[in-house]
């Protein structure tokens, strides 16, 4: 049986442990999204593509083996943009740096900032699909009626041929979905020169 002074100390200790546990759960909740994103980027989980530098891409040997890359473009229903690939497919050599282009047009009468989310399918191809440069790495602001070309430079790593799950892949679909970035600073229209 606890003595009178020990009970308040025990209660205080339990309360502090409960508070520490709650704070730890809160911290894990905030860390979950960046940790999950990091996990997906490292492993290619659920079709997450890889981001590489020019220097990393320079060391890749081009294979005579080709693969088809299909391009898909989607827009969130609340975003008044027209967004589409300039080409529907490309046949590329594994390891070869390739340029694909998408176009986007702001159909509204106000500047809008958008951000693209992306993935590839099949999911197993994500760890082999490498982007060197991509419009999806940053937010994009389009003025009213403005139409722009949005390039992506990529290659498919030849090591896909050595992967048990990747060696039978014959086509990879690169898919983007544009969403309005409501957290972006308000875009201001460009002033005409003169």
Confidence check: pLDDT of 37 > 70: no
Token reading at 190? 């460009």
Q: What is the mean pLDDT of the chain?
A: 83
In total, the chain counts a number of residues equal to: 194
Average of pLDDT values for 9-36? 67
Largest CA distance in the chain: 87
CA 165 to CA 45: how far, in whole Å?
13
**What is the DSSP code string of 151-187?**
EEEEEE-GGGGG-TTTTT--EEEEEEEEEE-TTSPPP
Reference 150, options 87, 102, 86; nearest CA is 102
Confidence check: pLDDT of 70 > 70: yes
CA 119 to CA 45: how far, in whole Å?
10
C-alpha 109, offset from chain centre: 28
Lowest mean pLDDT among 24-28, 68-72, 134-138: 24-28
pLDDT value of position 47 = 45
Residue 156 exposure: Cα atoms within 13 Å on the Cβ side: 31
**165, 171 in Cβ contact below 8 A?**
no
Confidence check: pLDDT of 118 > 60: yes
At 55, the pLDDT band (50, 70, 90 cuts) reads confident
pLDDT value of position 46 = 41
Average of pLDDT values for 8-17? 79
CA 43 to CA 18: how far, in whole Å?
35
For a pLDDT cut of 90, what percent of the chain falls above it?
A: 57
C-alpha 72, offset from chain centre: 14
For the stretch 138-194, pLDDT in tens is 999 999 999 999 999 999 999 999 999 899 999 999 999 999 988 876 545 454 444
Whole-prediction pTM: 0.70
Confidence check: pLDDT of 8 > 80: no
pLDDT value of position 158 = 96
Reference 118, options 91, 100, 143; nearest CA is 100
**114, 79 in Cβ contact below 8 A?**
yes
At 132, the pLDDT band (50, 70, 90 cuts) reads very high
Reference 129, options 92, 74, 102, 103; nearest CA is 92
Range among 16-20, 98-102, 162-166 rated most confident: 98-102
Q: Which CATH superfamily is domain 48-180 in?
A: Ctag/Cox11 (2.60.370.10)
pLDDT value of position 39 = 45
Average of pLDDT values for 95-102? 96
Dihedral sign computed on CA atoms, order 71, 95, 36, 115: negative
Domain boundaries, the chain: 1-43, 48-180
Reference 162, options 124, 118, 117; nearest CA is 124
């Amino acid at each position: 049986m606890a003595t009178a002074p020990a009970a308040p100390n025990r209660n205080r200790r339990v309360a502090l442990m409960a508070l520490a546990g709650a704070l730890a759960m809160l911290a894990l909740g905030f860390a979950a999204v960046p940790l999950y994103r990091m996990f997906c980027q490292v492993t290619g989980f659920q079709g997450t593509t890889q981001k590489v530098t020019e220097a990393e891409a320079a060391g890749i040997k081009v294979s005579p083996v080709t693969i088809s890359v299909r391009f898909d473009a989607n827009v969130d229903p609340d975003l008044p943009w027209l967004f589409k690939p300039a080409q529907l497919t490309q046949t590329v050599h594994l390891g070869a740096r390739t340029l694909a282009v998408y176009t986007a047009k702001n159909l509204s009468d106000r500047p809008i900032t958008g951000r693209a989310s992306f993935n590839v399918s099949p999911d197993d191809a994500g760890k082999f699909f490498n982007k060197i440069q991509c419009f999806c790495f940053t937010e994009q602001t389009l003025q009213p009626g403005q139409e722009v070309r949005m390039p992506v430079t990529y290659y498919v790593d030849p090591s896909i041929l050595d992967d048990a799950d990747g060696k039978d892949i014959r086509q990879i679909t690169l898919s983007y979905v544009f969403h309005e970035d409501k957290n972006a600073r308000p875009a201001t229209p460009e002033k005409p020169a003169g």
